[in-house]
Amino acid sequence: MDGNLKFLSNKNGFLGIDNKFSFKEKAIVIPFGLEKTVSYGGGTKNGPKEIIKASHQVELYDEELNCEPFKKIGIKTLKPFKIDKNINKALGKVSKINENILKKNIFPLTLGGEHSITPGCIYPFTKKYKNLCILHFDAHADLRDSYKGEKYSHASAIRRCLDYKNVSLISFGIRNISKGEIPFLKKNSSRIKIFWAKDKEKWNLTMFKKFIKNKTVYLTFDVDAFDSGIMPATGTPEPGGLLWDETLKIIKIAMKNSKVVGADVNELAPIKGFNSYNFLVAKLVYKILSYKFFY
């Protein structure tokens, strides 16, 4: 692989697979604990490390898929690297990494850090593909033009992605939006579709299947999309969110009906002594990768 990319051993990487197990990688996990613009609870910089640690406890066999998916996938984990203090340089670095990975036709999955990583992550995809649809799981719309004077704030992550004219958006679980975001939302209604959390009982997933059919998709998952009852370990937890089974159902529809080309999972702020939250995110990452290579 690219000389600049250094990997952890299997044993120290995602899932902690035996070093003797050899494979040709189809997916690369990128730990990128960027924490620059958090506005409430901090700690996202420790997210990637704790997700990888918890992943060593995830059962490798998947009873739903009736196999050990990691054997089919081949997952390598990048060695953690120094993150630049300047947010633009930091985002440039993650763009470059994803660009290198895409050149090899390998699937990149970035572990954040805060959600402000996503515009950096998607940049090479916007160049490679004519149209890119972002499948966005989140409690917050993230459509502010800036927050506290920072255009690259976690609260503006999706707005920055929509700066690229060939990007459209499907969001799930939104239950927190500011008044200032509504005009932008209305103006861009043709490229933004939101499945609001308040309408969860009435969601039409057949309609979602039609929306996403045959699209090229980048999946971005802010863990505060989950209900705060099952995921309090995040900077801005919100009640009324997604539960585990319904989340997997949506991801599975996307994997079966569209071409998902990359992903990021972000905003885990680990709570000392509460490993179950880290484990939930590790299992989510394994599920995303498993569905990607099975459907």
Instruction: Write the pLDDT tens digit of every residue in 214-225.
Output: 999 999 999 999
What average pLDDT does range 236-254 have in this prediction? 97
Structural domain includes residue 14 = no
98, 26, 59, 18: which is closest to 293 by C-alpha? 26
pLDDT above 90 as % of the chain: 88
Tell me the three state secondary structure of residue 135. Answer: strand
Least confident of 31-35, 54-58, 142-146, 280-284: 31-35
Tell me the three state secondary structure of residue 132. Answer: strand
For residue 276, pLDDT over 80 is answered with: yes
List, in sequence order, every beta strand (DSSP E) within the chain: 27-32, 75-77, 107-112, 132-137, 167-174, 192-196, 216-222, 259-266
Q: Provide the domain limits for residue 132.
A: 27-294
Structural domain includes residue 256 = yes
| Phi, psi angle pair for 29, to nearest 5° | -95, 130
Structural domain includes residue 6 = no
For residue 2, pLDDT over 80 is answered with: no
Structural domain includes residue 210 = yes
Strand pairing partners for 62?
67
Cα separation of 98 and 120, whole Å? 9
What does the pLDDT read at residue 40?
Answer: 54
Structural domain includes residue 20 = no
Cα separation of 173 and 137, whole Å? 6
For residue 41, pLDDT over 80 is answered with: no
Structural domain includes residue 46 = yes
Structural domain includes residue 159 = yes
For residue 36, pLDDT over 80 is answered with: no
What does the pLDDT read at residue 208?
Answer: 98
Structural domain includes residue 190 = yes
| Band (1; pLDDT cuts 50, 70, 90) | very low
pLDDT digits (tens, 9 = 90+) for 136-187: 999 999 999 998 888 988 889 999 999 999 999 999 999 999 999 999 999 9
Read off the amino acid at residue 97: I
Number of domains in the chain: 1
Domain of residue 172, CATH code: 3.40.800.10
| Band (42; pLDDT cuts 50, 70, 90) | low
Strand pairing partners for 31?
111
What does the pLDDT read at residue 38?
Answer: 56
Please give the model's pTM, rounded to 2 decimal places: 0.96
For residue 34, pLDDT over 90 is answered with: no
Q: Which residue has the tokens 């989510």?
A: 284
Q: Give residues with Cβ within 8 angstroms of 222, minimum separation 6.
A: 115, 136, 137, 138, 139, 140, 142, 234, 266, 267
For residue 3, pLDDT over 60 is answered with: no
What average pLDDT does range 62-67 have in this prediction? 97
